[in-house]
Structure 1
Amino acid sequence: MNRPTAFFLRGINVGANNRVPMAELRALLTEQLGAQEVKTYLQSGNLICVRQGDPAEFAKTLSAAIESEFGVLSPVVHRTFEELSAVLAADPLRDIATDDKLYQVHFCDRPVPELDLAALPIHDDERIVVDGSEIYIWYGSDKGIHASKLPVALGKQLPDMTITARNMRTVRKVAELLDVAAPD
């Protein structure tokens, strides 16, 4: 049996858009895709499951199934238990990030090529660190994430990549769920 893997769906249940009910998503995973031990966290597309085969291929299959079943185009990025553990161990901004809600990990579908950091609209109290397939961003300001221009600028510099962000609180909780689901 494979270990559980985390799958992060991009852009679902944002406001009234791209609605994917979690109970129906869990049913799709178990009944149609053969996943086991399916768990979701929040309504924003965080799920873990045990499945057979390559997680990257399963992510593509899951994305296609979501589009077919719910009419929602949602690319899916995955992280294994070991990969998500490494994300938390790296945590390059832990010394300055004082609020996990303003500290995000942007999960990318492959390693991030060199960014033109000088061209990014990084506000004085924002910090960005690229580490492999993750981009860590501390939004620092009381203006919050929604006032930042960084996510849109990153998307423009990395137009061919699938990127989905989660705040550090969510990353920690999903890692906790992975650990609980992991076989002894």
Structure 2
Amino acid sequence: MKTFIHLLRGINVGGHKKIPMAQLRECYESIGLHNVKTYIQSGNAVFQSEDEVLKSDLENAILGSTGFEVPTMLFSPEEWKSVQSDMNTVFVQLPEDHKAYITLLETAPSATEVNRLREKLGLEESLKVVGRAVYLSYPKSLAKPSINNNVLEKILGQRATTRNQNTVNALAKMIEQL
């Protein structure tokens, strides 16, 4: 069996694109996926399959189940463990008064795109890009960071979805328990 991590973007936020996690689990099971587990209501799933799984097949199944399109990201356990390891390295010296987020991308950005992101950073903000992950941190006192998910998508020209450290760690633990 192969294990996968699937992240949904923009569901259950502000009353839009509501998908109960029970419905998401049923949707995945209906297309033959096994050991489906979800984490919190923001669209985080771990599952197993006897075959390769395509992101487009998952998105089509969600569309069929809910009636609306949901952008998603698909990761292997190796990719996810790398994201977690890099996160722990990048944020190891992070002051307690800072927030830290990991934005996950469809593809790794080019050096030019990363430089465009850096140009948007405020003085108190920090950014590091490793593969498909963008690690952002800034002081909790900062009312509005310069870079958010929408800014990233616009600059990079691709879909992105953001998670916090707790979610990254919880999904890594779920992988280990399968």
TM-score, normalised with respect to structure 2:
0.88
2:109 to 109, 112, 126: 112
Q: Does 1:102 align with 2:99?
A: yes
Letter in 2 for 1:157: I
Q: Does 1:75 align with 2:71?
A: yes
Residues 121 and 153, structure 1, Cα contact 8 Å, conserved in 2: no
Unaligned runs of 5+ in 1: none
Q: Does 1:38 align with 2:36?
A: yes
> Counterparts of 1:141-160 in structure 2 under 5 Å?
141-143=140-142, 147-151=144-148, 152-159=150-157
What's the Cα RMSD here?
2.0
Where does residue 81 of structure 2 map in the other structure? 85
Q: Summarize the Cα distance change of 1:176–1:141 in structure 2 as closer, same or farther, 3 Å threshold.
A: same
TM-score, normalised with respect to structure 1:
0.85
Q: Does 1:176 align with 2:167?
A: no
Q: Tell me how far apart the structure 2 counterparts of residues 179 and 21 of structure 1 sit (CA, whole Å).
A: 24
Runs of 4+ in 1 over 6 A off after TM superposition: none
Q: Summarize the Cα distance change of 1:84–1:123 in structure 2 as closer, same or farther, 3 Å threshold.
A: same
Q: Give the fraction of aligned pairs with identical amino acids, expressed as a percent.
A: 26
1:61 to 57, 61, 72: 57
Letter in 2 for 1:13: N
The structure with the largest strand share of the pair is 2
Query: 1:100 offset after TM fit, Å?
Result: 10
- Give per-residue Cα distances to partners, 1:20-78, cap 9 Å, x unaligned: 11101101111x210000000000000000013334x1x21111111222123211111
Residues 112 and 134, structure 1, Cα contact 8 Å, conserved in 2: no
Residues 4 and 47, structure 2, Cα contact 8 Å, conserved in 1: yes
Give the paired residue count: 174
Unaligned runs of 5+ in 2: none
Q: Tell me how far apart the structure 1 counterparts of residues 146 and 78 of structure 2 sit (CA, whole Å).
A: 31
